[in-house]
């Protein structure tokens, strides 16, 4: 075999391996992403596969059971605030579960419409710029959704 | 002050255009006076951007809420330090910082002197000013740092409490210093192409710039992970978040460039590759700024949306088309001066290293933009998470690490298998024994075993390399061992500094393997008096406590920690409420040791009963990651350190070496 052929074979092998690796990993690590508004009407499609959904937190709905370490809350659509998805998450309550803040949940939608989340992320506005552009005030502390931290010893 | 800044930016726009035009006409007509004038315009530019930045900082510090930017990111109750750092809290300020740093770099470069500098610099300065033009345009049209506040406000919003952390305050600046630094080798590369000077001059002149930029980028990444580890409250240090990837991409291609530049310098090979690589790296730095500033992809970093995305998109397009056109127009000139003589040589090991790094960058890029790609193609957004990145990249990095051990052992041109065998037999045997031992000990994670034994292999090759060099030097100079070791760094900083950086990477690899594969994680609700056992640790819960300062209310839970039955101290993870803000933050409590971190998070508590929900994690070897990171920085600093001292003492010797290197 000439040197050139050897080099070409090595390259083909290398890129073949990497390509296969990329291809198989992408298909197995893929998560569909949609907003709550996009989910509305497409629930059947979204069931039974890993999905990420983003929506606004409904402040009044946030409940945390500290014995079970179970967090339940709802997220609503931006276009249609009446459309809500109930979320169940076994795990820690993120710090900033404020009304109107955007949450991104990863998990699976069950038949009864409840979303069982494996991960909850509250998008921290690095600034309140986007909201101000919409003419809204930056969110203020909602006492119903935060633990108070006075008292103690 | 705000008006001053606004006008400074406006004039900066004019002066950038003047500088570019003066340079171009000056080059074309060979008019020295015009070129000199363009050179002076760079000084004006740096003065103007300094005035603009200073006035924004002044407004932020004095809390002048008549300006929108100040009202958004500053507040009267923040410490002075964070008032200053809120400079880069938002889009407009970050871009101003970009422009400021770029104009400082441009001045340093334009007023420097080196071989052929009078031919190179007008072009280099033109390209750098061209980049500045984009930023100054954006700052005068869509992202205005000095926009008046439409509302009447007496108090600002203040910087996000999460960003009020010394590390996080400095992290963006280090990253930017690195990002922007790559503009310099890029401008030189393009200038070399314009001038049809395709030798290694541009690489030699910019070697320090490249290394410094790479160093800042590495520091930025390191600080970012350390910050995420302690501050985000769940012990994540790397999550393949789009914004993290944005800083990692230029780091990968920059690392490749640092290595492949050596081949062009020494052998006159890989010219096309180097020029393309530097363009790609610069492109990634702009892409990174674009990602963080445009909101194209969501991430925990969540930045604002806006028309700025379109601007960046256009700019990236211009760079791609421009550099492709330039490079292809000189394609035939960029021929290598020689070919690869053997598959087993230093040259080919650099080639493999480059291939691996660039392929890794490509897969990371693909994963990062996959949501956008899939939406464009299929209409649904599909994201790929950490499993994709890990599965694809861990094998690539393992190969890279092995190359890091083998590569430096190979001779230039061709290496004999016999010699290679002699050099590698000991490290290989020890690594194999370690592999078998770990497997026999019941470690059932084969990738972890592989990565640990590869790291050991590289560690041994580096130690051997040092010991061989020390022995050779002792023989030649009759110096004692310690002095010989020290002199290695005096004589050949670049090479031995590089080995120290490699050693740092070895520690990072060991640390990452330990912390990712062998970490423990327990979560439990505890009543006062209860205890929890995790690994070797037992934590007994003593109850809640509180302490309040002017700006925050802190609640903590106290635990007595025992390790293997011995009390080693108390630990107090906290929840902090900011009195002015809307956020609660979690302050974790960590007990560090060389072997592992005990990492405790207070997830929630009930005031009435005193019940606390905590998460206890153990991260083995995590401190090796930080140590390794700092070792990489130290090694790069070693290779960067100027060699002037030596020049004075050993002039004849130096001359000889320059000839050899050139």
ipTM: 0.75
What is the residue-level pLDDT of chain A in tens, covering all 153 positions?
Answer: 677 888 889 889 999 999 999 998 888 888 888 888 888 888 887 888 888 888 889 988 898 887 778 899 999 988 888 889 999 998 877 777 888 888 889 899 988 889 999 888 887 654 333 333 333 333 333 333 332 222 333
| pLDDT at B408 exceeding the cut of 90 | no
Instruction: Give residue B235's pLDDT.
Output: 75
Q: Nearest CA of chain B to the CA of A115: how many Å?
A: 18
The answer to whether B288 faces chain A, any CB pair under 8 Å, is no
Q: Which residues of A touch B617 (CB under 8 A)?
A: none
pTM for this structure?
Answer: 0.88
- As a whole number, mean pLDDT of residues B277-287 equals 95
Helix (H, G, I), strand (E, B) or coil at B391: helix
Provide the number of CB pairs (under 8 Å) joining chain A to chain B. Answer: 160
CB contact under 8 A, B546 and A150: yes
- Domain range summary for chain B, segments of one domain joined by +: 1-160, 416-517+630-661, 521-620
pLDDT digits (tens, 9 = 90+) for B558-599: 999 999 989 999 999 998 887 766 567 788 999 999 999 999
CB contact under 8 A, B383 and A151: no
Residue of B nearest to A153 (CA): B545
The answer to whether B91 faces chain A, any CB pair under 8 Å, is yes
Q: How many whole angstroms separate alpha carbon B20 and alpha carbon B41? A: 9
| pLDDT at B179 exceeding the cut of 60 | yes
The answer to whether B579 faces chain A, any CB pair under 8 Å, is no
Higher-scoring residue by pLDDT: B446, B415: B446
The answer to whether B383 faces chain A, any CB pair under 8 Å, is yes
- As a whole number, mean pLDDT of residues B99-104 equals 97
DSSP assignment string, B475-534:
HHH---HHHHHHHHHHH-HHHHHHHHHHHHHHHHHHHHHHHHHS-EEEEEEE-TT-EEEE
Instruction: Give residue A136's pLDDT.
Output: 35
CB contact under 8 A, A152 and B603: no
- Domain range summary for chain A, segments of one domain joined by +: 1-30, 31-145
Residue of A nearest to B586 (CA): A95
Q: Which residues of A touch B366 (CB under 8 A)?
A: 22, 26
| pLDDT at B658 exceeding the cut of 60 | no
Fold of A31-145: OB fold (Dihydrolipoamide Acetyltransferase, E2P) (2.40.50)
Q: Which residues of B touch A15 (CB under 8 A)?
A: 359
Higher-scoring residue by pLDDT: B506, B172: B506
CB contact under 8 A, B388 and A25: yes
pLDDT digits (tens, 9 = 90+) for B503-535: 999 999 999 999 989 999 988 889 999 999 999
Higher-scoring residue by pLDDT: B359, A111: B359
Q: State the burial class of residue B330 (Cβ atoms within 10 Å of its Cβ: 0-12, 13-18, 19+).
A: middle
Q: Which residues of B touch A140 (CB under 8 A)?
A: 582
pLDDT digits (tens, 9 = 90+) for B121-140: 999 999 999 999 999 999 99
What distance lies between CA B500 and its chain's CA centroid?
A: 18
DSSP assignment string, B440-469:
HTT---HHHHHHHHHHHHHHHHHHHHHHHH
Using an 8 Å Cβ cutoff, are B208 and B637 in contact?
Answer: no
CB contact under 8 A, A93 and B604: yes
Dihedral angle computed from the Cα positions of residues B227, B228, B233 and B235, in that order, rounded to the nearest 10 degrees: -110
User: Using CB atoms and an 8 Å cut-off, which of residues 552-571 of chain B contact chain A?
Assistant: 553-555
**pLDDT tier at B657, thresholds 50, 70, 90:** very low
Q: How many whole angstroms separate alpha carbon B79 and alpha carbon A2? A: 69
Q: How far is CA B82 from CA B75, B221, B224, B289, B362, in A?
A: 10, 21, 17, 22, 37
Q: How many whole angstroms separate alpha carbon B261 and alpha carbon B356? A: 16
Q: Which residues of B touch A63 (CB under 8 A)?
A: none
Instruction: Give residue A131's pLDDT.
Output: 36
**pLDDT tier at B396, thresholds 50, 70, 90:** very high
CB contact under 8 A, A29 and B72: no
| pLDDT at B258 exceeding the cut of 80 | yes
Q: Nearest CA of chain B to the CA of A23: how many Å?
A: 9
Instruction: Give residue B372's pLDDT.
Output: 82
**pLDDT tier at B154, thresholds 50, 70, 90:** confident
Residue of A nearest to B556 (CA): A152
- As a whole number, mean pLDDT of residues B57-64 equals 93
CB contact under 8 A, B160 and A31: no
CB contact under 8 A, A92 and B582: no
DSSP assignment string, B298-333:
--TT----STHHHHHHHHHHHHHHHHHHHHHHTGGG
Q: How many whole angstroms separate alpha carbon B645 and alpha carbon B151? A: 60
- As a whole number, mean pLDDT of residues B85-93 equals 88
Q: Which residues of B touch A91 (CB under 8 A)?
A: 523
Instruction: Choose from A51, A57, A66 for mutation: most chain B CBs within 10 A.
Output: A66
Instruction: Give residue A140's pLDDT.
Output: 35
The answer to whether B165 faces chain A, any CB pair under 8 Å, is no
Query: Of B160, B370, B523, which is closest to A126 when you measure between CB atoms?
Result: B160
DSSP assignment string, B118-153:
HHHHHHHHHHHHHHHHHHHHHHHHT--TTPBPSS--
């Amino acid at each position: 075999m000439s040197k050139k052929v050897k080099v070409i074979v090595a390259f083909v092998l290398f890129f073949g391996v990497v390509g296969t690796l990329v291809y198989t990993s992408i298909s197995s690590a893929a998560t569909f992403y949609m907003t709550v508004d996009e989910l509305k009407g497409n629930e059947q499609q979204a069931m039974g596969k890993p999905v990420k959904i983003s929506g606004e937190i409904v402040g009044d709905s946030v409940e945390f059971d500290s014995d079970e370490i179970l967090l339940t809350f709802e997220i609503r659509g931006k276009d249609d605030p009446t459309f809500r998805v109930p979320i169940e998450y076994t795990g820690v309550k993120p710090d900033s579960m404020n009304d109107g803040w955007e949450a991104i949940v990863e998990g699976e939608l069950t038949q009864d419409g409840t979303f069982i989340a494996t991960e909850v992320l509250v998008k921290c506005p690095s600034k309140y710029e986007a909201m101000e552009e919409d003419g809204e005030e930056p969110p203020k502390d909602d006492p119903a959704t935060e633990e108070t931290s006075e008292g103690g010893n | 002050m705000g008006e001053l800044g606004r006008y400074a930016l406006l004039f900066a726009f004019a002066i950038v255009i003047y500088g570019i035009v003066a340079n171009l006409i000056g080059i074309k007509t060979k008019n020295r006076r015009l070129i000199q004038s363009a050179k002076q315009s760079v000084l004006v530019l740096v003065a103007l951007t300094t005035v603009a930045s200073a006035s924004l900082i002044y407004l932020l510090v004095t809390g002048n809420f008549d300006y929108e930017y100040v009202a958004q990111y500053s507040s009267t109750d923040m410490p002075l330090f964070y008032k200053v750092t809120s400079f880069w809290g938002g889009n407009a300020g970050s871009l101003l910082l970009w422009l400021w740093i770029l104009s400082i770099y441009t001045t340093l470069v334009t007023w420097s002197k080196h071989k052929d500098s009078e031919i190179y610099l007008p072009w280099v300065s033109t390209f750098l000013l061209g980049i500045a033009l984009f930023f100054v345009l954006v700052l005068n049209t869509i992202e205005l740092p000095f926009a008046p506040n439409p509302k009447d406000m007496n108090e600002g919003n203040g910087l996000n409490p999460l960003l009020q952390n010394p590390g996080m305050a400095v992290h963006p600046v280090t990253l930017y210093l690195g990002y922007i630094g790559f503009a310099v080798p890029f401008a030189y590369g393009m200038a070399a192409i314009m001038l049809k000077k395709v030798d290694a001059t541009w690489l030699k002149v910019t070697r320090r710039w490249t290394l410094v930029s790479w160093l800042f980028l590495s520091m930025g990444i390191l600080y970012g992970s350390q910050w995420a580890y302690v501050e985000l409250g769940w012990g994540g240090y790397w999550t393949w978040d789009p914004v993290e990837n944005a800083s990692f991409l230029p780091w990968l291609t920059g690392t490749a460039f640092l290595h492949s530049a050596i081949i062009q310098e020494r052998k006159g090979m890989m010219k096309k590759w180097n020029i393309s690589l530097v363009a790609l790296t610069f492109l990634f730095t702009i892409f990174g700024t674009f990602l963080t500033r445009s909101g194209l992809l969501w991430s925990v970093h969540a930045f604002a949306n806006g028309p700025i995305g379109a601007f960046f998109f256009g700019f990236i397009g211009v760079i791609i088309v421009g550099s492709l056109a330039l490079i292809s127009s000189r394609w035939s000139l960029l021929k290598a001066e020689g070919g690869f003589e053997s598959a087993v040589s230093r040259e080919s090991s650099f080639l493999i290293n480059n291939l691996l790094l660039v392929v890794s960058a490509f897969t990371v890029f693909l994963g990062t933009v996959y949501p956008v790609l899939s939406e464009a193609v299929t209409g649904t957004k599909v994201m790929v998470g950490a499993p994709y990145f890990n599965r694809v990249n861990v094998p690539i990095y393992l190969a890279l690490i092995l190359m890091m051990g083998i590569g430096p052992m190979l001779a230039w041109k061709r290496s004999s298998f016999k010699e290679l065998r002699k050099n590698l037999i000991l490290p290989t045997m020890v690594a194999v024994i370690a592999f078998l031992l770990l497997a026999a000990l019941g470690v059932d994670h084969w990738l972890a075993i592989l990565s640990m034994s590869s790291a050991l292999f590289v560690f041994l090759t580096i130690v051997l390399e040092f010991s061989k060099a020390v022995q050779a030097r002792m023989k030649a100079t009759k110096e004692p061992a310690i002095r010989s070791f020290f002199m290695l760094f005096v004589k050949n900083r670049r090479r031995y500094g590089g080995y120290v950086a490699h050693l740092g990477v070895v520690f990072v690899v060991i640390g990452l393997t330990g912390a990712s594969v062998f970490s423990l994680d327990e979560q439990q609700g505890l009543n006062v008096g209860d205890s929890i056992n995790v690994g070797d640790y037992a934590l007994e819960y003593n109850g809640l406590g509180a302490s309040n300062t002017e700006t925050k209310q802190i609640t903590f839970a106290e635990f007595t920690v025992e390790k293997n039955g011995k009390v080693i101290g108390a630990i107090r993870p906290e929840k902090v409420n900011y009195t002015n803000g809307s956020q609660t933050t979690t302050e974790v409590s960590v007990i560090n040791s060389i072997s592992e971190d005990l990492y405790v998070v207070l997830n929630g508590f009930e005031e009435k009963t005193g019940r606390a929900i905590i998460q206890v994690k153990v991260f083995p070897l995590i401190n090796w990651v930080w140590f390794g990171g700092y070792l990489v920085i130290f090694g790069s600093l070693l290779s960067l350190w100027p060699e002037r001292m030596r020049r004075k003492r050993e002039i004849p010797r130096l001359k000889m070496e320059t000839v050899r290197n050139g």
